[in-house]
Structure 1
Amino acid sequence: MTHDVEYQVLGAVEVRTATRRPNLNGKQRSLLSLLLLRANESVPVPKIMDALWGSALPAAPDMRVRTLVSELRKKLREAPPGTLRTLPSSYTLRVAPGQLDLDRFSALVDRAHAALAARNPRRALGAYDTALGLWRGTALGGTSGALLTAEAARLEELRLRTLEERGEALMAAGRHSEAIFQLGSLTADHPVREHAHALLMRAYFLAGHRHEALRVYHTLRRHLVSELGLEPMQSLKQLQRQILTGTLQPETAE
């Protein structure tokens, strides 16, 4: 599907048209991000002020918001009329299905879930790969403010969960070595992420590497204790015992 305007938030925040990629400054990116994350909804001016400045409001912040909206509207001049609407004390950005990369990502992940439910891991992997290929770096890049920082963290968690799901799909497809490679990279980057470590343990077990699976558990436990003062969650302890005693069945490991 093609659109007059496409929006990207899975990386640096950008607008793309058929002929140009308008330059946005930091505040314009932040405003656009907020409107995109609440696309087709009315976003009150106080919410915009809080997202852009927090407690450090500039002089005449309502006027500054109007100026930023006017600047953003000029950047979106190739969009259909009425894309950025002014309402009483609020603004709405109209976004059609498929215009926002985050929406496309979510649709592809839903497609992967449906494929897994239909026991078609190969099709699921294709959808996961296309979805993850939409990411171009840290989400909401070029924005600032506590609210958008929290939103960026939420989107990063979504990306990590999708990587974990892809690892599960690789195991379901019998591609255990690839699952080990992907999940090993993920756990190296996130040494206290318990679910990713549990999946890596299962991948090693399915590949016939019992000792490596147990090593993953002990490495995770060391990081949890030293960095967070915590023990692994109960399900991980149970998984470790099943691998140690040889009672984990291959079908339950997937």
Structure 2
Amino acid sequence: MRIPAPRPGRDDPPFFRILGPLEIGPAAGALPLRAERQKLVLATLLLNADCVVTIARLIDAVWGEQPPSTARGQVHICISRLRHRLAESGQGDLGIETRPHGYVLHTGPGDVDLKVFRREVAAAERAEARGDPAEAAELYRTALALWRGPALSGLEGEATRSAAAQLDEERMAVAEQRIELELRLGRHRALVPELTGLVGEYPLNERLTGYLMTALHRSGRRAEALVSYRRARNRLADELGLRPGRELQALERAILCPDGGPADDPGRRPPPGRDGPRRA
């Protein structure tokens, strides 16, 4: 491990941050990276930290399918300037190593927020597997707190944006898992404001709608839960020509169930939205 001592503590921000706008350095004094090419090269190295990234891949990240004849030389210049930035920061041992066909950015376990995020998620999954949902939910929260917005927001390279979109999907999957756990723990009232905001941001996400319906229903707000369903149904029909999937429809029927049977608490049913919407 090529990391100088002392290392940051658990509460210190990672030196490299890609879960939001690209930043390097201390949170209170991030080092400026003004050149778009430098940012795209660094982002590609960070997305593949501790692995060889070929020069061809870096060229593709910066210029796509129409690189200039000087692309290879410009990548070398970007690498040189990034090395200078790291040396200026006192973190020169977080080195960019030259390999025969490319470069490797060497990092430690706490140096990249994506690494820390995935480490906390893995710990949450282990807690969940051993039957400790409260600890798992807390670890998921810790992981999600590392995010400062959409991954690598502000960068325009096609390859970078594609990778960032996959990270955003990873974030959403973790958020959904954490919400599901908190519903099981009976924290439905506390979840309603958060879920209301998430459904407003992602109105076509059936799982989020189902979680909001469940949280409202279990908070004694049955009518609002049914309104949430109708809004989702109308939005799916208007924008996509689809109707809700089977599980979201089943959740609505469970909330409407008048006999107080087992279906009366849909919060204990399987999470909604796995089967996806159907054609209207």
- TM-score exceeds 0.5: yes
Write the distance in 2 (CA, Å) between the matches of 1:181 and 1:39: 37
Cα distance change on mapping 1:125 and 1:252 into 2, 3 Å: closer
Write the distance in 2 (CA, Å) between the matches of 1:18 and 1:198: 37
Tell me, yes or no, if structure 1 residue 56 matches structure 2 residue 66.
yes
**1:82 CA displacement:** 7.2
Counterpart of 1:107? Answer: 119
Tell me, yes or no, if structure 1 residue 91 matches structure 2 residue 103.
yes
Residue 253 of structure 2 aligns with an amino acid whose one-letter code is R
The size of the alignment, in residue pairs, is 254
Write the distance in 1 (CA, Å) between the matches of 2:28 and 2:251: 54
Write the distance in 2 (CA, Å) between the matches of 1:10 and 1:245: 43
Instruction: Give the SS at the match of 2:200.
Output: helix
Instruction: Give the SS at the match of 1:248.
Output: helix
**1:65 CA displacement:** 0.9
Of 243, 250, 265, 1:231 maps to 243
Of 172, 195, 215, 1:183 maps to 195
Residue 176 of structure 1 aligns with an amino acid whose one-letter code is H
Counterpart of 2:23? Answer: 14
Write the distance in 2 (CA, Å) between the matches of 1:18 and 1:237: 45
Write the distance in 2 (CA, Å) between the matches of 1:171 and 1:207: 11
Cα distance change on mapping 1:203 and 1:19 into 2, 3 Å: closer
Residue 228 of structure 1 aligns with an amino acid whose one-letter code is L
Residue 248 of structure 1 aligns with an amino acid whose one-letter code is A
TM-score by length of 1: 0.89
Instruction: Give the SS at the match of 2:150.
Output: coil
Counterpart of 1:2? Answer: 7
1:199-231 alpha-carbon deviations (Å, 9 max, x no partner): 112222222333222221111010011011111
Write the distance in 2 (CA, Å) between the matches of 1:197 and 1:107: 28
**1:73 CA displacement:** 1.1
Write the distance in 2 (CA, Å) between the matches of 1:209 and 1:81: 56
What are structure 1's unaligned runs of at least 5 residues?
none
**1:125 CA displacement:** 3.2
Write the distance in 2 (CA, Å) between the matches of 1:189 and 1:32: 30
1:11-55 alpha-carbon deviations (Å, 9 max, x no partner): 121111699632112221111111111111111111111111112
Kindly indicate whether structure 1 or structure 2 has the higher relative contact order, using CA contacts under 8 Å at least 6 residues apart: 1
Consecutive aligned runs of 4 or more in structure 1 exceeding 6 Å deviation: none
What are structure 2's unaligned runs of at least 5 residues?
1-5, 271-280
* Deviates most, 213-222 or 17-26: 17-26
CA RMSD of aligned residues (A): 2.5
Of 184, 197, 204, 1:172 maps to 184
Identity %: 33
